[in-house]
Structure 1
Amino acid sequence: MDTENRDFSAKTGDIVPAADGCKLNFFARVGHFSVKVGAALLLGLVKGVKLILSELLELAVSLLKVLLWILRELTSPLRNRFNINKDMQKKVMKAKKAGKSEYNKALFQFWFSYLFGEDGVFYTAFNYILPVVSIAFLIGIIRYGSGLEYGLSVEYNGREIGIITAEADFEAAEREVQQRIAYADSDETIDLSAKYSLRIINENDKVVSSSQLANEMLAASDEALTEAFGIYIDGKFIGAVTDKEPVQDALNERILNYRVDGVVKDISYKNNIEYSHGIYLASSVMDTKAAIDLLTSSKEKKAVYVAQKGDTAVTIAMKYNMDLNKLEELNEGIIKKCSKGMIVNVIETESYLPIQYVREMDPVTFLDYETVEVETSSLNVGVRDTLVVGRRGEKTSHVEITYVDGKEYSRKTISSKITKEPVVEKIGIGIYAARPDSPDTVLTGSGEFGWPVDGGWVSDGFGGERNHKGMDIAASTGTEIYAAADGEVVSAGWNTGGYGYFVQIGHTDEYQTVYGHMSEVLVDEGQYVSRGQLIGLVGNTGNSFGSHCHFEVRHLGICLDPALFLNTTESFNTEADKKKEDDKKKDKN
Structure 2
Amino acid sequence: MKKIAYSMIPKQLHLVITGETGAGLSFVVRRDHVAIILAVTLSTLTALAVGTWLGIGFFQERTSLALKTTLQTDALRELSENFEQKLKEQLSAQKNAWQAKEGAYQAQIQNLKEEKEGVICRYEEEIASGDISIARKISGLLAELEQEKQEKQELLEKTAVRLDERSRMIESVMSRIGVDVKVGKKNTANSGGPFIAIDEKYSESLLTRSDKYIKTIRRMPLGYPMQGRLTSGFGRRSDPFNNRPAFHAGIDLKGKIGQQIKATADGIVTTSSYDKNGFGNFVILRHGNGYETVFGHMSKRLVKQGERIQRGQLIGLMGNTGRSTGPHLHYEVHYKGKPIDPKKYLSVAKLSFTVPE
Above 0.5 in TM-score? no
Whose helix fraction is larger, Structure 1's or Structure 2's? Answer: 2
The TM-score, its normalising length taken from structure 2, stands at: 0.38
Whose strand fraction is larger, Structure 1's or Structure 2's? Answer: 1
The TM-score, its normalising length taken from structure 1, stands at: 0.24
Larger radius of gyration: 2
Q: Tell me: higher relative CO, structure 1 or 2? Use CA pairs within 8 A at least 6 residues apart.
A: 2
